[in-house]
Amino acid sequence: QVQLVQSGAEVKRPGASVKVSCKASAYIFTRDYIHWVRQAPGQGLEWMGIINPSGGSTEYAQRFQDRVTMTRDTSTSTVYMELSSLRSEDTAVYYCARDGLEGTDLWGQGTLVTVSS
């Protein structure tokens, strides 16, 4: 079954880092770019960045440039998003999404990251 499966919910202290994983199944992992998108409680969608699973190149939204790192492991068809220096405003559901042949057609189930002291 073609799908993206994300890691489970996380609770982090302010100032800590979080690393969320997104495992691809049943399609050619290196063919399609992967986006990371987040949604704070009751708020809209926010684009964070994109990674090319083939070569590992990345592009980040300006506001996350100094805090986010996206990587991939082709041996396990998994991409990762690490966000550092967490603050309460980073509490959100984080999604990975595939940029396929017909648009951003496949989304992970979302990972809730809660930042609280």
User: Residues interacting with another protein, by CB under 8 A?
Assistant: 35, 37, 44-47, 50, 59, 61-62, 95, 97, 102-105, 107-110
Q: How far is the CB of 75 from another protein (least distance, A)?
A: 25
Give the E-state strand segments of the chain in sequence order.
3-6, 10-12, 18-25, 33-39, 45-51, 58-60, 68-73, 78-83, 92-100, 103-107, 111-115
110 versus 114: smaller Cβ distance to another protein: 110
Measured CA to CA in angstroms, residue 103 lies from 13, 75, 92, 98 at distances of 36, 25, 24, 8
Q: How far is the CB of 51 from another protein (least distance, A)?
A: 10
64 versus 80: smaller Cβ distance to another protein: 64
Q: How far is the CB of 23 from another protein (least distance, A)?
A: 15
Site of tokens 């509490």: 91
15 versus 63: smaller Cβ distance to another protein: 63
